Structure 1
Amino acid sequence: MTVIVREIGPGVRADLEGFATVRRKALPFFILTPDSLAYDLDHYPAAAHYRPLVAEADGEIIGSAQVGLLHENPGPSQGFVNVYTRPDRTRRGAGTLLVRAAEEYLAGLGATRLLAWVLDEPANRAFAEARGYRAGRSAHFLRLDLARLPPLQEVPPGVELRTAADFADDPRPLFELDAETTADEPGEAGPAELNYDTWLEDTWRHPLTDRALTTIAVVDGRPAAFTAARTDGTGRYGTGMTGTARAFRGRGLAKLAKNHSLHRAREAGCTEAFTGNDTGNGPMLAINKWFGYEICATEVRYVRELG
């Protein structure tokens, strides 16, 4: 059996479906569709030099890699290498070939630091460490059965709940809230500097973004907290981001927004919800535990410094 690594063909449906299938089997708690992948390919900023790779064996796609530069992060040039192999197609050399191709590509772009998400399983961690990567922060994937939601919370006086659809004429206030909360997220790569035009493409217009379920708590006319919803049309709901502006923290507003979003998601036919949290993000983990989310997997952020 010969395994080859290649870039996916732009607009080639079989490649998009093969890439999405690998990701879905390796990370069943991560929402991705062939259409969302196609959108990402068309809208990635040129500065990211994004290059999705697949490993193919006898005409079947058995591995995938997301490769590119973290162009919005300050400091030294950083690249990302996220490699996944179908769990039923391991030990065929696909992961090794994908990592090698990704590293050569990023080194050629001048990257001096590589970051990779690795499932927290002995074989996966050993694979990364054997290639010079060192473990850093970790993050949990969490799942919630929407049949087991806690009761709908009452909206307190002075707070109004709106959806992203209500901001269709001017979504900039949502961008400003997202940018402020994202800047405070823990992570290995450092805070990214969000750009409004890029946010419009990457978040606001993304095909997985569900504006009807994305919920914002508004106080005195100002968006104070929000939860961003993503859906894939198959009953799966994912949280893109949940956060509160610094001036409004400690009032339970993010929890309120998420509570109402999840209830409306269930009414819309969603049956399960997924989210992810850095293991050091205690407040958000506590909120998700209150909702009934359970940890279903953990990923570790591995880092390799290129000599």
Structure 2
Amino acid sequence: MTMTVRPLRPDVRADAEGFSHVRHLALPCYLITPESVSYDVTHMHPDAHYQPLLAEENGEVIGTAQVGLVHESPEPGQGYVNVYVHPERTRRGAGTMLVRAAERHLAAVGGTRLFAWVLDEPGNRAFAEARGYRESRSAHFLRLDLANGALPPLRSLPPGVELRTGADFADDPRPLFELDAETLSDEPSDIAYEFTDYEAWLQDTWHHPLFSRELTSVALVDGRPAAFSAARTDSGTRYGTVMTGTARAFRGRGLAKLAKNDSLHRARASGYTEAFTGNDTGNGPMLAINKWFGYEICATEVRHVRELG
């Protein structure tokens, strides 16, 4: 057996296919495609020092790692190491080699505190703890059966409220950036974020190959974007909402639920059969909304953190 670890080559289709295949097997609730893998490598902000890694056994990709710095954080040195190994190829050393290579890369570019999402299973948690990572907060992945589930009915819009799609903002998406930035800054997290770079948002979100402007729903109040549900798809049968939120001035009026219900109904009408989303376990309001829609937990991850010496 020959095990090697190397950087992913974004211009090699087989690398992107191997990365997305292993990631899908290890975490089926997560939307990923070869196209999204290649796009992330070539369009990530340079300050992120993003470096996805592949572990190969006799030439076969059996492990992956997402590695980089959180460039949106006002605190320097915040890095991430997310390792996933083919479920049938564990305990062969791939994970250990990926973690070591990731830590070397991050140390070289100024990483001082490393965060890792770890599946909430005894073996995965023990693996992280044995390498100096301590437990932090957790998050759920949730799944909704769009093909057979019963969505809440669409309701009449309150006075002054209208629903638009992300595509309606094609000429000027900045209002969606501002709404996204405000809601993301209030998300529960171990890391503080400051989303002020509009051009980076265009690259990371608006132009991302998984992002669906057509299925993204935006609730406007008196013409002002007040709440939204941002959608991604794999262009097959899988659809996901990656952010649903409301501007602070409009919270408590059910606008996020209104926008998400609109997006879900249109996704089902477009032929998507599965809906996915994710929530921090401490985000009670959003978990309650997703339970109301019929989502069920399909996986849980625990974030772990390690301070580099």
Please say whether Structure 1 and Structure 2 have the same fold, judged by a TM-score greater than 0.5: yes
Q: Deviations along 1:109-162, whole A, 9 cap, x unmatched?
A: 121100010000000000000010001110000000113122222222211000
Q: How does 1:208-227 map to 2 (within 5 A)?
A: 208-227=210-229
Other-structure match for 1:96: 96
Query: What 5-or-longer segments of structure 1 have no aligned partner?
Result: none
Aligned-residue offset at 1:92 = 0.7
Query: What 5-or-longer segments of structure 2 have no aligned partner?
Result: none
2-side partners of 1:61 and 1:198: how far apart? 30
Aligned-residue offset at 1:72 = 1.6
Other-structure match for 2:124: 124
2-side partners of 1:193 and 1:205: how far apart? 17
Q: Deviations along 1:151-183, whole A, 9 cap, x unmatched?
A: 222222211000011111111101000000001
Task: Tell me whether 1:40 sits opposite 2:13 in the alignment.
Answer: no
1-side partners of 2:111 and 2:36: how far apart? 27
2-side partners of 1:193 and 1:151: how far apart? 34
2-side partners of 1:155 and 1:209: how far apart? 26
Task: Tell me whether 1:133 sits opposite 2:133 in the alignment.
Answer: yes
Q: Deviations along 1:99-118, whole A, 9 cap, x unmatched?
A: 01101111111211000100
Other-structure match for 1:18: 18
Aligned-residue offset at 1:263 = 0.3
Other-structure match for 2:165: 163
2-side partners of 1:40 and 1:105: how far apart? 18
Asked whether the 8 Å contact 1:29–1:143 carries over to 2, the reply is yes
Task: Tell me whether 1:268 sits opposite 2:244 in the alignment.
Answer: no
2-side partners of 1:132 and 1:63: how far apart? 20
1-side partners of 2:97 and 2:214: how far apart? 42
Asked whether the 8 Å contact 1:133–1:303 carries over to 2, the reply is yes
Aligned-residue offset at 1:184 = 0.3
Output the amino acid matched with 2:104. E
2-side partners of 1:268 and 1:119: how far apart? 32
Asked whether the 8 Å contact 1:186–1:278 carries over to 2, the reply is yes
Other-structure match for 2:115: 115
**Residue 252 (structure 2) aligned to one of 250, 253, 268:** 250
2-side partners of 1:255 and 1:268: how far apart? 20
Write out the 4+ residue segments of structure 1 that deviate beyond 4 Å after TM superposition: none
Q: How does 1:176-195 map to 2 (within 5 A)?
A: 176-195=178-197
Other-structure match for 1:230: 232
Output the amino acid matched with 1:192. E
Taking only the aligned residue pairs, the percentage that are identical comes to 72
SS at structure 2 position matched to 1:89: coil
2-side partners of 1:188 and 1:194: how far apart? 19
2-side partners of 1:14 and 1:235: how far apart? 23
1-side partners of 2:194 and 2:91: how far apart? 36
2-side partners of 1:40 and 1:273: how far apart? 22
SS at structure 2 position matched to 1:151: coil
- Which TM-score applies when normalising by structure 2? 0.98
Output the amino acid matched with 1:230. R
Other-structure match for 1:106: 106
2-side partners of 1:199 and 1:207: how far apart? 13
1-side partners of 2:62 and 2:177: how far apart? 37
Other-structure match for 1:49: 49
